[in-house]
Amino acid sequence: MSAEKVGFIGLGIMGEPMASNLIKKGHELVVHNRSRGPVDKLAAEGAQPAETSREVAELTDVVITMLPDSPQVEEVFEGDSGLLAGASEGTLHIDMSTISPLVTKKLAERASDLGVRTLDAPVSGGQPAAVSGELSIMVGGADEDFARAEPLFGAMGTAVHVGGTGTGQVVKACNQIIVAVVIEAVSEALVLGSKAGVDPAKVIEALSGGLAGTKVMEAKRSNFLDHDFEPGFRIELHHKDLGIALATAREAGVALPLTAVVDQMLQTLQVKGRGGLDHSALLTLIEEAAEHQIGGTAKASS
């Protein structure tokens, strides 16, 4: 398995360290990216550069894509210079981008017609986890394909096989729902507490050990308390992801009232020019509604 040649397309702030970790674990890599910088960097680590997605697929057994959204994945997948044009029967395409489960299913059907195998394997944990090789990877697809991909996943993080094609994307959507709603819940609590006279650090201290305990409160503590909204995970990306969640829910016939409200709040923050801030900046909207800032020096707030 680990002797398979691996292609990696999309070497952004997530993809580049993920590819680098694969090289470090001894995998032979062929890489492609729209801009040349990260290709050269990975070539210096031993990767073989390729000019097109098609060429990546021609030279490898397993092709990983890590791209911003559905249109980019479709673009890399389709067409004369796309990965499907270069793939052979038995090629495994692992899409680690966060995209619509509906698009994932459509692409999987096209791949299946040509004998190309697919896994959807979106990740959580952000750039720090991409660098340290500690991503959480949510995988949809067939058992044998998951088994084939496991050594690769192991180089990048920890994978959980959650079901058939598209379910990795569905679970990622669930993840994004919970994270966004929890950030907003903590924001409401901290602003109320603060405006009613309680030091927000005390609120976090008092609530962390109980049923109100959340990873968000722990991991984003200094973002909330110091008004440090350097991303992290950007509001505009989270807004994109809730768009996927809400479209998936619409298709499935599920009402998501809190998700819909937070999605509108992320939209509002984008209009206010804060799409590039960390998603913990949801706090600023509640602060503004209360004309009250809980602390910090507004480092990245506009």
User: Is 177 a binder of a second copy (CB under 8 A)?
Assistant: yes
Q: How far is the C-alpha of 285 from the C-alpha of 108, rounded, in Å?
A: 40
> CB-based contacts of 206: which residues, under 8 Å, 6+ apart?
none
User: Is 162 a binder of a second copy (CB under 8 A)?
Assistant: yes
Q: Spot the catalytic one: 25, 105, 172, 215.
A: 172
Give the x-and-dash track for 186-225 against a second copy (CB under 8 A): x-xxxxxx-xxxxx--xx-xxx-xxxxxxxx--x------
Closest distance of CB 1 from a second copy, Å: 23
Q: How far is the C-alpha of 263 from the C-alpha of 95, rounded, in Å?
A: 25
3-state secondary structure string across 20-67: HHHHHCCCCEEEECCCCHHHHHHHHCCCEECCCHHHHHHHCCEEEECC
Tokens at residue 79, please? Answer: 């067409």
User: Is 294 a binder of a second copy (CB under 8 A)?
Assistant: no
Tokens at residue 22, please? Answer: 């694969």
Among 101, 133, 231, 275, binds a second copy (CB under 8 A): 101
Q: How far is the C-alpha of 275 from the C-alpha of 107, rounded, in Å?
A: 29
How many positions of this chain bind a second copy (CB under 8 A)? 69
Give the x-and-dash track for 235-274 against a second copy (CB under 8 A): ----------x--xx--xxxxxxxx-xx--x---------
Which among 61-69, 75-83, 92-100, 282-290 is the span making contact with a second copy, rule CB under 8 A? 282-290
User: Is 1 a binder of a second copy (CB under 8 A)?
Assistant: no
Tokens at residue 106, please? Answer: 């459509």
**How large is the C-alpha radius of gyration of the chain?**
21
Q: Which is nearer to a second copy, 59 or 185 (CB)?
A: 185
User: Is 167 a binder of a second copy (CB under 8 A)?
Assistant: yes
Has 106 been annotated as catalytic?
no
User: Is 181 a binder of a second copy (CB under 8 A)?
Assistant: yes
**Closest CA relative to residue 244, chosen from 149, 144, 177, 148:** 177
Closest distance of CB 224 from a second copy, Å: 13
User: Is 109 a binder of a second copy (CB under 8 A)?
Assistant: no
Give the x-and-dash track for 132-161 against a second copy (CB under 8 A): ----x-x-------------------x-x-
206-243: b (≥16 Cβ within 10 Å) or e: ebeeeeeebebbeebbebbbebbbebbbbbbbbbbbbb
Range list of β-strands (E), 237-297: none
Q: How far is the C-alpha of 196 from the C-alpha of 193, rounded, in Å?
A: 5
List, by residue number, the catalytic residues.
172
Q: Which residues bind a second copy (CB under 8 A)?
A: 101, 124-125, 136, 138, 158, 160, 162-164, 166-167, 170-171, 173-175, 177-179, 181-182, 184-186, 188-193, 195-199, 202-203, 205-207, 209-216, 219, 245, 248-249, 252-259, 261-262, 265, 286, 289-292
